[in-house]
Structure 1
Amino acid sequence: MFSGSIPALVTPFDDEGRFDEAAFRDLVEWQIAEGSSALVACGTTGEAATLDKDEHFRVVRVCVEQARGRVPVIAGAGSNDTAVAAANLCAAKEAGAAAALMVPPYYNRPGQEGIFRHFEALAPASPLPIVLYNVPARTVTDILPQTVIRIVEAFPTVFVAIKDASGALARVTQHRLALRDGFVQLSGNDDLSLAFNAMGGVGCISVTANAAPRLCAEFQAACASGDHAAALALHERLYRLHDAMFVDASPGPVKYALTRVRPGFPPALRLPMTPANEAARAAVDAGLSAAGLA
């Protein structure tokens, strides 16, 4: 259902901390023109944790409106409260999203049975396909392969993909050996995408693609066509930029990168997130230079 380079879009704010709709529409338009194959609105990189519900789904709605069906929009919709997650799925559908991106419950720290029961409760009434989002570094809950397999086998038409940011590459093969060929595996780590795709992944939900959408799209196209030499060259061209995205807390570095490649892009973040520190800015500058973008 999804493949290629899928930016996890930042959410631009104006100087007063309000959603900057004009800047966001411009970002969406540029991403599509540069070859992004889908868009994620209000994921982690989009500072979803600082948006109230009305803001959150307004951002999704604006993304859908600007995309105009040219690429699908995946809406961040997860929660550590199962009832809230169910409501978010309905709101994402109403906003026009094609699918929902769902983390397992965070903070509560459920065990594997609790994670399964959470998704089991969401599946029967879900109005959208769901992309599982496993990012244990942020959620402190890890959807282990046996649980991913159990969820997908129980509800194969609902859970259509996974964004795997666990960093455990062997899981790509574990998932492939157990699940149908149509189950989509997307990397959640730009720097591991080459290896992830070599093992059977088909794309990446990317931070770097915010600032380097064309190069990320070309990299994914090279992987898909089996042109390993081109994919490796693009991976190495982008590697320092991938690394720079997390020298300081994300999305500070990527918002700084956008100000470099899109002059006038608003750099503001909402607390508790803060602008990229000096080391991160220097790393981004070096990464952009290495990629030939600045």
Structure 2
Amino acid sequence: MIPLAHPAHWLSGFIPDLPTPFDDRGRIDADAFVALCRRQIAAGATALVVGETAGECATLEPAEREQLVRIAAGIARGRAHIIAGAGSNATDRAVTFALAAEAAGADAVMSVVPYYNRPMAAGMAAHFRTVAAATRLPVILHDIPSRTVKGLPDDTLADLATSARFIGLRDGSGDIARLMRLRSCLPASFRLLTGDDTTSLAWLAAGGHGCVSSVANVAPDLCVAVHRHLREGRLAPARDLHRRLLPLAALLDREHPAALKFALALLGFMQPATRLPIVQLDAPAKAEVADAISGLADEYFAAAR
């Protein structure tokens, strides 16, 4: 476990939300997952998200969640932070996931707004505080109303952020105006991350700290370059690189994570297998993803593998 006294130093840039590779028998393909972790660390990722949205968390068994964290932590060995998906719509289950992630070597947990139950704001706050009180790990909140129906209200977020137990937000709304609202009412140390690749450039340019990214799985070096250009004040090259990524990012978002898995399969990193109720892409969607990938420079992928 990496000391987290200064979370602002590592919750930044493009942080890949790693998919969970499966073999032809539906089990976790540990070798493929190791390769994904190594590729991201070599590209300079400051953190890896495992067992979350792209990881098909809803279909993972508890032992599989722990397996992913242990593998990632063993590969990272302090070179990158491991953020474990630990969300649930049952608070006691979210606590169990968080404790298991801590025991497996995670550096932080990501906890999503409880889905399906549609809790009131006070219930959301109680849920997150219960999770945070149960573990020594810092908590990153995940607000994604398109999947949870009810979003985390700004005032509830601001109240939670007064506790040092909560170190950041993954915002899935793609609402840049929300970033501007939140910056003035949150502690300076609280990190604001977008979960939307298509608006990530605008988010970062407006003062956001990073992006929990799907497209970074496919083109990590390009994403690192976008963030570096922005950090060093070079907006034009950042914009040009981001524009190259947009067609693929939009396709990955449309059928997530099946499209991501197919993209990585095309590049030879894993099989495209998913778990029901997610199914693999149909032929027209596969063709679209293949076209988007071919639109990126062939020499980039040759160097990245």
TM-score (norm 1): 0.95
Whether 1:256 aligns to 2:262 is yes
Kindly provide the amino acid, as one letter, of the partner of residue 136 in structure 1.
P
Kindly provide the amino acid, as one letter, of the partner of residue 182 in structure 2.
H
Distance 1:146 1:80 in 2: 21
Aligned Cα root-mean-square deviation (Å) = 1.3
Q: How many residues align?
A: 290
Whether 1:65 aligns to 2:74 is yes
Kindly provide the amino acid, as one letter, of the partner of residue 94 in structure 1.
A
Distance 1:145 1:231 in 2: 30
Aligned to 1:116: 125
Q: Contact (CA 8 Å) 2:12, 2:211: kept in 1 or not?
A: yes
Aligned to 1:287: 292
Distance 2:64 2:216 in 1: 23
Distance 1:125 1:224 in 2: 36
Question: 1:13-162 residue pairs with structure 2 within 5 A?
Answer: 13-153=22-162, 155=163, 157-162=164-169
Aligned to 2:211: 204
Task: Flag structure 1 segments of 5+ consecutive residues without an equivalent.
Answer: none
Aligned to 2:280: 275
Distance 1:5 1:239 in 2: 14
More divergent stretch after superposition (200-209 vs 120-129): 120-129
Distance 1:57 1:141 in 2: 28
Q: Contact (CA 8 Å) 2:35, 2:269: kept in 1 or not?
A: no
Aligned to 2:249: 242
**What's the CA shift string for 1:36-70, capped at 9, x where partnerless?**
22100001100111111011111111111111111
Q: Contact (CA 8 Å) 2:196, 2:213: kept in 1 or not?
A: yes
Question: 1:162-177 residue pairs with structure 2 within 5 A?
Answer: 162-177=169-184
Q: Contact (CA 8 Å) 1:238, 1:290: kept in 2 or not?
A: no
Distance 2:46 2:71 in 1: 18
Distance 1:176 1:47 in 2: 31
More divergent stretch after superposition (10-19 vs 112-121): 112-121
TM-score (norm 2): 0.92
Deviation at 1:246, TM superposition (A): 2.6
Deviation at 1:264, TM superposition (A): 5.6
Distance 1:183 1:49 in 2: 28
Decide which of 208, 220, 231 is 1:224's aligned counterpart.
231
Kindly provide the amino acid, as one letter, of the partner of residue 137 in structure 1.
S
Kindly provide the amino acid, as one letter, of the partner of residue 126 in structure 1.
T
**Structure 1's 69 and 34: CA in aligned 2 closer, same or farther, altered over 3 A?**
same
Deviation at 1:112, TM superposition (A): 1.3
Identity score, percent = 41
**What's the CA shift string for 1:5-41, capped at 9, x where partnerless?**
1100000000000001011101111111122221000
**Structure 1's 133 and 264: CA in aligned 2 closer, same or farther, altered over 3 A?**
closer
